[in-house]
Amino acid sequence: MSKYSMHLLVCGGTGCRASASDAIVENLKTELEAKGLSDTVQVIMTGCFGFCEKGPIVKVSPDNTFYVQVKPEDARKIVEEHVIKGRKVRELLYVDPKANEVIEDSKHMGFYKKQIRIALRNCGFINPEILDEYISRDGYLALGKALTEMTPEEVIKEIKASGLRGRGGAGFPTGLKWELSRQSQSDKKYVVCNADEGDPGAFMDRSILEGDPHSVLEAMAICGYCIGADTGLVYIRAEYPLAIQRLKVAISQAREYGLLGKDIFGTGFNFDIELKYGAGAFVCGEETALIHSMEGHRGEPTLKPPFPSVSGYLGKPTNVNNVETFANIPVILLKGSAWFSSIGTEKSKGTKVFALAGKINNVGLIEVPMGTTLREVIFEIGGGIKNGRKFKAVQTGGPSGGCLTEKHLDLPIDYESLVANGSMMGSGGMIVLDEDDCMVSIAKYFLDFTVEESCGKCSPCRIGNKRLYELLDKICKGNGVADDLTRLKNLGLVIKDTSLCGLGQSSPNPVLSTLENFMVEYTEHVHDKKCRAGECKALMTYSILEEHCVGCTACARACPVGAITGERKQLHVINPAICIKCGACLEKCKFDAVIVQ
């Protein structure tokens, strides 16, 4: 990167590209060209910076200026003011909402202060489509070190000592998994990267693949060396076209440089990587289902054991790891297991990437040491709740997880603490909810998801979840009875105990944890027929305010079922027995006379 004195880094993640960041890159290049600066200032399209809320983002290095919500037409100002005259474009700088202060250097942003970036170390710094940039940041050094200076046993020992655990959800110790895969005897073995990322509302694996694909390829090769495999497969969702394209570019560049293929670093070690595509099925994130899907079958899970490390893809020993797990590997080998295990809590080492979304000010991608509290994540890094509303809960672990509330805010986050409190780490999705969210509806939303995604192979999951959903739907529609709450709980526990795979074993979690933490809301729905968040339409009643009604008859004419009566210039009345709560009257009334309670 040395020939240039300044770099303009433009985010090229899916979110920022949706807001025209390609056009920003084009315009910056044109402006620089016009000013004869193309040789001294370089424009780089990077992976995600994480601060998606305020995208598209342009960062200037070396001075760390952080421009937010940049539009293509701002390119001229950035070049003329910042690049040429050295004056920051103030109106594009990030303003800290709490202190109401313009932030000049991104290091001082509350969003970045508490973060430690290991898995995301290169995201937002390098152009993911240029291998030299990865190499300039110690890329493929770890693979070189492993192949030339270490035995496979030594590498495995190092990974074990680091305490790294799988980031795909279950938290299984990675070193141990590699050791088991190594011990399986076979003529052929496979390394599989699980890039299915099925949790809706989570996007960390995608961001790593888009922003730093080589870190995953390098780690897969290291894994291949350790377990004795010469083939790697990345199973990636077809919904991630940009990540697929970046992976393809990265694989072909690595082959060109001899970092994949035959006789890598002249050591006689062969390793190559292919892509396999998912086709939109959540259950395919489960490793046995994933393997069946790669073989071209329906993605239905099978009982374990045998574990994939014994019998996996095409019946051969297969080591499956998550994208983020792999992204940690090269750094561990370079900086050592002692350094890695100094970060985090007693049983959960290192960092975790979370995708913060929902009713939070700073939606984005963050990486924090294990043991960081929810309060730090939500209020310091996340900047608190949107529109000054009140925090209600945070859902971690997606459809398999549970919700945590106010009383859990000071809980240090790690694998154990989340499970102990009725939730789980999952892949790292964190959806923040505020007082306008109805917890019964949220549970129903997740159950709707599970019912749709259940593969149908085992009956507890196929039938049980459907019944759970129906019960929740009944409650939301105002038809719930007291017994339904016990039924929800009992059925939920049975499904957990008897389902075939992790999908069913965890799908009742959102119901059980909202029952545990928000029983009041359930009883309000069932006994008082009230939804305090105002989300359950069927529990609302429409009425007309006497003081506001002028008798214009607009509402009566709009009502599709004739529930509204009243003479011209007289007060109108809604008959609740006929009203279907469609909201047509509310839309039509010009005098704010229709109210919903």
Partner 1 sequence: MSSVKIELRKDQIEKIHEICKSFNYEGGELINVLHKCQHEFGYLPAEIQEVVAEQLKLSVAKVYGVVTFYSFFSMIPKGKFPISICTGTACYVRGAENVLAEFKKQLKIEVGETSADGKFSLSCLRCVGACGLAPVVLVGEKTFGRVAPDGVKAILAEFEQ
Ligand X SMILES: Cc1cc2nc3c(=O)[nH]c(=O)nc-3n(C[C@H](O)[C@H](O)[C@H](O)COP(=O)(O)O)c2cc1C
Least separation, in Å, of the C-beta of 358 and partner 1?
A: 5
Q: Binding to ligand FES by residue 239, rule CB under 6 A?
A: no
Provide, rounded to whole angstroms, the least separation between the CB of residue 352 and ligand X: 12
298 touches partner 1 (CB under 8 A): yes
Closer to partner 1 by CB, 98 or 297: give it. Answer: 297
Which residues, in sequence order, are CB contacts of 574 under 8 Å at separation 6+?
A: 542, 543, 544, 563, 564, 585, 594
Given ligand FES, ligand X, partner 1, none, residue 460, with its beta carbon under 5 to 8 Å by kind, binds none
Residue 310 touches which of partner 1, ligand FES, ligand X, none (Cβ within 5-8 Å per kind): none
Q: Does 242 bind ligand FES (CB under 6 A)?
A: no
Identify which of residues 152 and 429 has a Cβ nearer to ligand FES in the complex.
Answer: 429
Measured from the CB atom, is 115 or 328 closer to ligand X?
328
Q: Choose between 167 and 352: whose C-beta lies nearer to ligand X.
A: 167
Amino acid at 361: N
> Rounded to whole angstroms, how far apart are CA atoms 145 and 169?
29
Per CB under 8 A, the list member of 71, 90, 153, 238 interacting with partner 1 is 238
Contact 223, 269 (CB under 8 A): no
Q: Which one, 343 or 556, has the nearer CB to ligand X?
A: 343
Q: Which residues in 123-152 contact ligand FES (CB under 6 A)?
A: none
Cα separation, 8 vs 65, in Å, equals 10
Instruction: Tell me which residue has tokens 């526990």.
Output: 493
Compare residues 168 and 480 and give the one whose CB is closer to ligand X: 168
Q: How many CB atoms are closer than 10 A to CB 145?
A: 15
∠ CA 360-362-363 to the nearest 5 degrees? 75
Listed residue (510, 323, 348) closest to 413, CA to CA: 348
Q: Which residues bind ligand X (CB under 6 A)?
A: 166-170, 172, 194, 196-198, 283, 285-287, 320-322, 325, 427, 501-503
Return the CA Rg of the chain.
Answer: 27
Which residue of 363, 413, 501, 540 would you call a contact of partner 1, by CB under 8 A?
Answer: 363
- Minimum CB separation of residue 256 from ligand FES in Å reads 34
> Of 173, 201, 306, 566, which lies in the binding site for ligand FES, with binding defined by CB under 6 A?
201
118 closest CA partner among 291, 331, 427: 331
Per partner kind, with CB cut-offs from 5 to 8 A, the member of ligand X, ligand FES, partner 1, none near residue 163 is none
Residue (83 or 281) nearer to partner 1, CB: 281
Closest residue by Cα to residue 193 from 321, 92, 59: 321
Q: Does 462 bind partner 1 (CB under 8 A)?
A: no
Least distance from ligand FES to the Cβ atom of residue 97, Å: 23
Least distance in angstroms from the C-beta of 448 to ligand FES: 14
**How many Cβ atoms from other residues are within 10 Å of residue 528's Cβ?**
10
Nearer to ligand FES, 127 or 441 (CB): 441
CB of 281 to partner 1, least distance (A): 5
Out of 296, 305, 560, 562, name the contact with partner 1 by CB under 8 A: 296
Please give the sequence-ordered ranges of beta strands (E in DSSP) within 220-315, or none if there are none. Answer: 231-236, 261-264, 269-277
Closest CB to ligand FES among 319 and 400? 400
Distances (CA, A) of 576 to 292, 302, 534, 557: 53, 52, 17, 17
Write the CA distances from 318 to 11, 159, 164, integer angstroms.
Answer: 35, 18, 19
| Cβ-based nearer residue to ligand FES, 223 or 447 | 447
Least Å distance between CB 363 and partner 1?
4
Strand 318-322 relative to strand 190-195, pairing: parallel
Structure-token match 């003329």, residue found: 80
Q: Are 73 and 58 in contact (CB under 8 A)?
A: no
Q: Which span (215-223, 237-245, 330-338, 569-577) binds partner 1, by CB under 8 A?
A: 237-245
Residue 455 near which of partner 1, ligand X, ligand FES, none (CB within 5-8 Å, type-dependent): partner 1
- What is the DSSP code string of 184-246? S--S--EEEEEE---STT--HHHHHHHH-HHHHHHHHHHHHHHHT--EEEEEE-TT-HHHHHH
Minimum CB separation of residue 445 from ligand X in Å reads 17
Does 173 help bind ligand FES (rule: CB under 6 A)? no
Say how many residues touch partner 1, by CB under 8 A. Answer: 52
201 versus 583: smaller Cβ distance to ligand FES: 201
CB of 43 to ligand FES, least distance (A): 27
Nearer to ligand X by Cβ, of 16 and 202: the residue is: 202
CA distances from 187 to 24, 182, 260 (A): 51, 12, 20
Residue 503's binding partner out of partner 1, ligand FES, ligand X, none, with CB under 5 to 8 Å set by partner kind: ligand X
Rounded to the nearest 5°, which phi and psi values hold at 278? -80, 175
Contact mark string toward partner 1, 199..218, x via CB under 8 A: xxxxx--xx-----------
200 in contact with ligand FES (CB under 6 A) = yes
Distance CA 360, CA 431 (A): 8
End-to-end CA distance of the chain: 61
Please, what is the minimum distance in Å from the beta carbon of residue 462 to partner 1?
13
CB of 291 to ligand FES, least distance (A): 26
Contact partner, 52, from partner 1, ligand X, ligand FES, none, Cβ < 5-8 Å per class: partner 1
Closest to 358 (Cα-Cα) out of 377, 388, 386: 386
As measured in angstroms, the least distance from the Cβ of 588 to partner 1 is: 15
Q: Is 497 exposed, middle or buried (0-12, 13-18, 19+ CB in 10 A)?
A: exposed
AA identity, residue 118: I
**Residue owning tokens 């309000």:** 524
Q: Which residue number, 178 or 203, has a Cβ lying nearer to partner 1? A: 203
Report the sign of the C-alpha dihedral through residues 561, 567, 569, 571, in that order: negative
Which spans of this chain sit near ligand FES (rule: CB under 6 A)? 200-201
- Contacts with partner 1 by CB under 8 A lie at 14-15, 17-19, 52-53, 55, 197-203, 206-207, 238-240, 276-282, 293-299, 314, 355, 357-359, 363-364, 395, 398, 429, 431, 433, 437, 442, 445-446, 449, 455
